[in-house]
Chain A
Amino acid sequence: MKDNRHFQTLCIFMVMFLFILSGQNLQLPKSHLEMNTYCMSCHTCDNPTDDNPCLEICPRHGGKFKGTHTVDEGPKIVIMDQLSDIYSSVVFQHELHAGMSEMSGGCDLCHHFSNPDELVPPCRECHKIKDNYTNIAMPSLKAAYHRQCLNCHREWSHETECSTCHLVKREQETISIVPDPTDIMGAYHPRIEAEERYVYSTNYPNFPIVTFHHTDHVDLFGEKCVDCHSGNSCLRCHENGGSDEPPHIENLHSKQTCCNCHTQACREPDQCIFCHKDHEMPKFNHTTSVGWDLGDRHEDVACQSCHGPLKTFIIPSKVCTNCHIHWDLDIFDHGTTGLILTDDHVEFECTECHLNEDFSAPPDCENCHDPEEINYPDSLPGYKNK
């Protein structure tokens, strides 16, 4: 009787032991037993079952596709602005990079998890902007971008400076944060060094020489690159691997490029001499070219402020109040012109000295003073404040 009870206890323990053993085997598939795997690398949920394995859509191992897409299929430019915080958004030249990666592995050099039959998903579809660590095995979007870009940049060009791709956001950022997609790069492209001026000889009779001042057009008139260099992709300039050779641009040096803006000069026959001269033209100078000295006060004013948009160029009158519409005697401080009037002169109407509101002409003192004794500029109606 006693032996029997011992045997029963032993049996129960044996069954329990086997149960525990088999239970452990059921917990993980056989293929997983040798792995020291972090579950979240493959599974999205905590307790995957056979029915619901909740596997990641893009497993790191396998499922790679071999480049069946062409460079043209992808976007030309990808603007990465989801994360811009300290730095401005990054303008990624996708077409350029796709062209380069064709030589070394195709699309899956970067798009490592893409399904061969479907469209290539963007990075952000799998790599999320991470605010907390739910899945520490999956790099966040920021890390994914930086790992991907810097793997190549670091190896090939040994460049790891942030400024290669980023601009630091300044407190008083003058450049618009959103890049102007109509400009040639759709981005803040580093300044392309160009000649200050280009001189062309044409077959126009008597006036064959055309002088094009590149710097004036860019800096002074505020033309964007794309206004002349239109229809060019990144590769057109960078096809030589960023060599020093000048950009290869067809039909640039043609009349049509100029006529896009100088519509009036191109339309009317007597206006040809606007560009065509018998000698090289000096740099644009408002005093000599127009006959109106900008002086210190107007030197930094943008052309468009007075002349309106460049294409519908208007010539304003020389009367100050044409632009300075808010000026009248009560609020006008003559000191802004550089001359502070004495108390007895402040009271006068502007036109008493500046005849016919012509402020560019010397003032007339004869109304009150004997020209033998007092005349401008030997005697001043005040004192200079600079």
Chain B
Amino acid sequence: MIPAAWAIFQKDLRAEWRSRELLSAMLLFSFLSVFVFSFALELQRDILIAAASGVLWVSVIFAVILGLNRSMAAEREMGNLDAMLLAPIDRSAIFVGKAAANFLFGLIVGVILLPVISLVYNVNLLDLRMVGLVALGTLGLASVGTLLAAMTVQTRAREMLLPIVMLPAILPILLLVVRASNGVLGLTPEEFWVGIPALLIVLDVIYVVMCFLLFSYVLED
């Protein structure tokens, strides 16, 4: 399974390097979200600081959804998903390869947003703990998102359907990462968030294992 998953991961990176469609759209969308929120919050410093981590995660989540829709649609358009399904490989390899690529794209967007939000919202998100939280949060988003995108891509209303089914599923991740991010910013007392990264790791393991096991079934006819 590993060689096939690695081939799929490399193929996604190579296709993105050539087209630069996915990351540029995700980055542009997330930058716009950050700026729109800053104007909506009327540039009041105390409000901006309190909202910074929420803005970070909402921007990351919507950028990841945008990327997932595009990534799976690209597989569907030319029938490439069928071509992969025709190969004598474990279907879970498709999940691992696609989820790994989606995780990497989400991680890049999240990490790039840290200095951008720090600058626009006048807070300090440039902290290794924040990078760790972005990685843990994005891992859960990418695994759940890859599974759900594989389901919704087979429907006509896929662009609408993915956010509708994905947002409730990732709510636990969102609640935990926002609280932990506020903790890193010093907005939450340490005792209220110090255990959250461990909880996030457990949640990620549950999500990754569940999605890995379920992926073969969602591709069934």
Pairing of A with B? no
A interface list, Cβ under 8 A from B: none
B interface list, Cβ under 8 A from A: none
